[in-house]
Amino acid sequence: MQAFPLSSTAFAPFGELVADATAHSIFPVNDGRALRHARLATPKSISAAYLRQEISLYRVACSPWPVEVAYFERHALSSQLFYPLGSAAYLVVVCASDALGAPDPLTAIAFTGGTGCGINYHPGTWHYPLVTLGQQSDFLMLMAESGTEADCEIAWLAQPLLVQS
């Protein structure tokens, strides 16, 4: 499988891009010392009082090409947002669900992202964990969680996928 640059159109079935260009409005704040780029993404979660918003820092080790995808995970209760804090390129691998709700590897697609462009997976989107390319990098992560196993479902593939640069 070949990886393609992230684009909002190609990624739309799986989530939304988080970048300055996606801001719905930009306006000055803090006595004009800053510009607020507002509504870059729309986090979503089921309407349950027991969910809590979690903001975490992910420090992701560098992986070499090709990247082997042996499983997918999804978060049915919430969207999951990642925003790069470093300059490393990163890999996103997603796929649709099959008729039984399991990941369909035949629909898998791989994207590469970089500085200034994050992603916000729709709730229930099958994806491979974040992979950085070239160097270790940090990412800000936002997700609503219940603190139970329902937060993350993992499905192993019968045959791993191989992603090329």
Position 47 scores a pLDDT of 64
Partnered with residue 62 across adjacent β-strands are 132
User: Which tokens hold the place of 83?
Assistant: 């925003």
User: Which tokens hold the place of 68?
Assistant: 């082997």
- Listed in order, strand segments (DSSP E) in the chain are 3-5, 15-19, 25-29, 34-38, 52-60, 62-63, 67-74, 80-84, 89-95, 109-113, 117-121, 126-127, 131-133, 137-145, 153-163
pLDDT (tens, 9 = 90+) of the chain, 165 residues, equals 999 999 999 999 999 999 866 667 888 899 989 888 777 887 777 766 668 888 999 999 999 999 999 999 999 999 999 999 999 999 999 999 999 999 999 999 999 999 999 999 999 999 999 999 999 999 999 999 988 898 999 999 999 999 998
Rounded CA-CA distance 88/131 in Å is 10
* Domain 3-163 class, CATH top level: mainly beta
Rounded CA-CA distance 102/104 in Å is 6
Position 88 scores a pLDDT of 92
Position 27 scores a pLDDT of 83
Residue keyed to tokens 């640069």:
165
Burial of 132 (0-12, 13-18, 19+ CB in 10 A): buried
Position 164 scores a pLDDT of 94
